[in-house]
Amino acid sequence: MSTTLKRVHGYLAEFDNPQDLYHAAEHVRDQGYQRWDVHTPFPVHGMDVAMGNPRSKLPWLVFFGGATGFTVAFLMQFLTQVIIYPTVVQGKPTDIYTLPAFFPVMFELTILFSAFTTLFGLLALIGLPRLNHPLFASKRFPKFSDDGFFVCIEARDAKFTKEGTKSFLEGIGGKNIELVEDEI
Amino acid sequence: MEATSHASAPTPSEPRILEREPLVLNNRSYSWITNRICGIVENKQPFLWWILFVPSVILTGVTVFCFTYLISTGVGVWGQKQPVAWAWDITNFVFWIGIGHAGTLISAILFLTRQKWRTSVNRAAEAMTLFAVMCAGLFPGFHVGRVWMVWFLAPIPNANAIWQNFKSPLLWDVFAVSTYFTVSVIFWFIGLVPDLATLRDRCKPGLRKMLYGMFALGWRGGNRHWSHYETAYMLLAALSTPLVLSVHSVVSFDFATSVVPGWHTTIFPPYFVAGAIFGGFAMVLTLMIPARKIYGLQDLITAKHIDNMAKIILLTGTIVGYAYSMEFFMAYYSANKYELQTFQLRGLYGPSVWYYYCMFGFNVFAPQLFWSRWCRHNLWVVMFVCMCVNAGMWFERYVIIVTTLERHLTPGSWRTFSPTWVDIWTFVGTFGLFMMLFLLFLRFLPVIAIGEVKGVLPQSDPHYDPDREKGIQEEDLMDYPDRHVAKPGTAAATA
């Protein structure tokens, strides 16, 4: 018989509603925890302030994605229409003055590259997709996608202690506090 | 303080604050919403679903057969002959692509303008967008004739060392439509991820759980994720808004950049976009009114939603009516006799005037019923108007494309178009394809954005106070600080 090794992932505490969760998040933030998160079925308005989250960097990524699309579209059209294969059609010039005819495709590719950057930038920033996560070992956790409101403080937080964190979560009104363990 | 008098005993002279209609009726809980929407996917489908699904599959087969026949024989099986080289196929293309626009309008523009009612219709409308664009894409794809050469539309280096003509609106269209489809898929998918996680968490272990789990990407609903997610959603909405306006503008360039009388007008881009949104909303209502009844979603898709969409149909229908009239006026006012004759033949004494009358009646007169609140709340009337609009928008595209080409600049080559059976059945079959895809969507994916609907419930606000009077929210009172309701039991209320 083999023994399964387990590593503590963190404490999971449940709250009744977004209002309680919001206040709990403010307490956790003020306590100085860094490695923690709240899990909710929908984005709770203002939770970033309650948690002290910074603004997402995603718009910067998307800006550069869009700029790439714009440049690619310009080069693709300029090189093919003016340098490699100029054709005299539709009474339009074959030099750089034909630029206005390139605008629609430049616009579309700007949007296309921006949208792809949004998708992949989002996935990169949130670290998904992943096939499993220690939290899924919890029996109560799947409620997060229905009507459960959770706070999870991870064990890798510098301020985490097995007793201290538990009593802290109890103190701020957490229910069904559970030690989530990860099989290794 | 006036607040004191308000809370203790409302005086008769005080202006009444109208309550905002709730977005979800009957004060439903989070789990009720989850159960009701996931129940559609998890329970057996009603018999009606099968009654609709089987004919849809058969009709899809008809389209497949028609296209197979076309490929094996040639584009001549369609009714196009010079000078009518664009006929039902391009009409159908513009018709279907237009239908998609309502989905993007609901998901992007109404999101940016903070129209919270969009949450219960956006998922289905976005799905409709994708399926409509799929139907649309078939027609120009096969219209090129040798469909196996369709890759020539893409700028790929090839053995002939030739390149596409990027100055042509037809190539702009290729980029616009394919970008539109791709971005719509991304937007739809990102919106689906949290709801797929809900379905995953409710499944028993097995293949379904694995598949939902795979597409849910391991979503855990953490706020550090939601934070980026909401930014991403906002960005996509901001990207899709100009995109949706550009797509039908570019479609209209196919016509407007030519020198054909009746096509060569600057009003086309706004006219096409308004028409697209108009036709799209009619299709959204055509699909959602039966769906909400069959699946018991009346608390989520309420009379208010239908009312709002009816108003948009009225607005855009009237814009379209303005465009029709303005085209006629400009034909007269420009003193261009070819333009004027085109419109006289289109609307007064040409061979296809009844198409014009159908278009005008269905698109401009029928929606005027929506000035009346009673009509907007009577679902039979709403369905009737939507059916008129669905048909009317097809007639509009037919009028623009075919009646113009039938009476070209050279009278010697005039010819009246008549469709062949392949034209008709290819088009009818795409309705089967559209319905089949939509029914499969109802069967396998959450038809309403579960997470988003929960987010607009009053109790989802972190500062929601159940003690405070229902219906009066903080933001409603922002403009009237003197009318602020004091919380019962507080010092202000009891003093």
Band of pLDDT at residue A162, cut at 50, 70 and 90: confident
Measured distance CA(B38)–CA(B273) in Å, rounded: 35
Query: Confidence band (pLDDT; 50, 70, 90) for B298?
Result: confident
Q: Across all residues in chain B, what is the average pLDDT?
A: 87
CA atoms within 13 A of residue A36's CA, in its CB half-sphere: 29
Compute the average pLDDT of residues A102-129.
94
Strand order of the sheet with strand A149-154?
A36-39, A149-154, A6-15, A175-183
Q: Looking at beta carbons, which residues of chain B come within 8 Å of A108?
A: 172, 175-176, 179, 243, 246, 250
Q: Which CB contacts under 8 angstroms, 24+ apart, belong to B412-419? A: B413/B82, B413/B83, B414/B83, B415/B81, B415/B82, B415/B83, B415/B84, B416/B351, B416/B352, B417/B79, B417/B80, B417/B81, B417/B84, B417/B87, B417/B352, B418/B79, B419/B78, B419/B79, B419/B87, B419/B88
User: Residue B160, exposed/middle/buried by CB under 10 A (0-12, 13-18, 19+)?
Assistant: exposed
pLDDT at B462 over 80: yes
In percent, the amount of chain B with pLDDT more than 90 equals 52
Residue B391 token pair: 């048909």
Question: Are A29 and A50 within 8 A, CB to CB?
Answer: yes
With respect to CATH, is domain A6-53+128-183 assigned 3.30.2030? no
User: Which of A27-31, B20-24, B304-308 shows the lowest mean pLDDT across its residues?
Assistant: B20-24
So what's the pLDDT on residue B399? Answer: 92
| pLDDT at residue A48, rounded to an integer | 86
Q: Does the distance separating the beta carbons of B229 and A112 come in below 8 Å?
A: no
B42-63: pLDDT as tens digits: 888 899 999 999 999 999 999 9
Q: Does B230 touch chain A (CB under 8 A)?
A: yes
Work out the pLDDT band at A51, boundaries 50, 70, 90: confident
Residue B26, both tokens: 């009957």
Q: pLDDT band at residue A69, thresholds of 50, 70 and 90?
A: very high
Mean pLDDT of B123-132: 93
Give the nearest chain A residue to B258 (CA atoms).
A90
**What pLDDT, on the 0 to 100 scale, is given for residue A90?**
81
pLDDT of residue B483: 45
**B241 part of contact set with chain A, CB < 8 Å:** no
Determine the 3-state secondary structure of A154 from DSSP. Answer: strand
The residue of chain A with its CA nearest to that of B453 is A42
Tokens of A86: 């100029």
Distance from CA of A10 to the nearest CA of B (A): 14
Give the residue from A70, A92, A111, A150 with the most B CB atoms within 10 Å of its CB, the best one to mutate.
A111
pLDDT for B1 equals: 39
User: What is the model's pLDDT at position B386?
Assistant: 95
What's the mean pLDDT in B95-110? 87
In chain B, where are the structural domains located? Answer: 22-154+169-457
- Which range has the worst mean pLDDT, B370-379, B465-474, B481-490? B481-490
Q: Grade residue A2 by pLDDT with cuts at 50, 70 and 90.
A: low
Give Cα B195 distance to the centre of its chain.
21
Nearest to A56 among B168, B183, B227 (CB): B227
B380 Cβ neighbours under 8 A, 6+ residues apart: none
Residue A79 has pLDDT above 60, yes or no: yes
What does the pLDDT read at residue B464? 82
Stretch B395-420: mean pLDDT: 89
Backbone φ and ψ of B317, nearest 5°:
-60, -35
CB pairs under 8 A between A and B: 209
Note whether A22 contacts B197, CB cutoff 8 Å. no
pLDDT higher than 80, residue A114 = yes
Q: What is the Cα B378 distance to its own chain's centre? A: 21
Per-residue pLDDT at B486? 46
Say if residue B262's pLDDT is above 90. Answer: no
pLDDT at B306: 92
* Secondary element (H or E) of residue A6: strand A6-15
The pLDDT confidence band at residue B10, using thresholds 50, 70 and 90, is: low
Least confident of A163-177, B277-291, B401-415, B462-476: B462-476
d(CA B393, CA B274): 11
Q: How far is CA B255 from the centre of its chain?
A: 23
B155–chain A Cβ distance below 8 A for any pair? yes
User: Is residue B201 predicted with pLDDT exceeding 50?
Assistant: yes
pLDDT at position B473 over 60: no
* Contact (CB<8Å) A50/B462: yes
Q: How confident is the model at residue B278 (pLDDT cuts 50, 70, 90)?
A: very high
Is A81–B166 a contact, with Cβ atoms under 8 angstroms apart?
A: yes
Inter-residue long-range contacts of B491-495, CB under 8 Å, 24+ positions, other chains counted: B492/B1, B492/B3, B492/B4, B492/B7, B493/B4, B493/B7, B493/B8, B495/B4
Most confident among B102-116, B223-237, B459-473 (mean pLDDT) = B223-237
Q: What pLDDT, on the 0 to 100 scale, is given for residue B396?
A: 93
Nearest to B462 among A19, A129, A147 (CB): A19
pLDDT of residue B3: 44
pLDDT at position B13: 64
The pLDDT score that the predictor gives to residue B286 is 93
- pLDDT value for B175: 94
Q: Report residue A39 CA to chain centroid gap.
A: 13
ipTM surpasses cut 0.90: yes
Residue in B closest to A119 by C-alpha: B186
- List pLDDT tens digits, range A134-156: 888 888 898 898 888 999 999 88
Residue B252: how many other CB atoms lie within 10 Å: 26
Q: What is the mean pLDDT of residues B319-338?
A: 91
B240, A53 Cβ separation under 8 angstroms = no
Identify the pLDDT of residue B11: 55
Residue B436 region by backbone torsions, left for phi larger than 0, else alpha for psi between -120 and 50, else beta: alpha
Which of the four pLDDT bands, split at 50, 70 and 90, describes residue B485?
A: very low
Confidence of residue A183 (pLDDT cuts 50, 70, 90): confident
Which tokens sit at B457? 């419930």
Is the pLDDT score of B487 beyond 50? no
Q: Is residue A57 scored above 80 in pLDDT? A: yes
The average pLDDT across B458-473 equals: 69
CB contact B183 to A (< 8 Å): yes
**Chain B residues near residue A128 by CB distance under 8 angstroms:** 217-219, 225
Q: Which residues of A touch B248 (CB under 8 A)?
A: none
Residue B275, both tokens:
């028409």
B240, B108 contact by CB (below 8 A):
yes
Residues of chain A with CATH 3.30.70: 6-53+128-183
Three-point CA angle A88, B151, B129, nearest 5°: 105
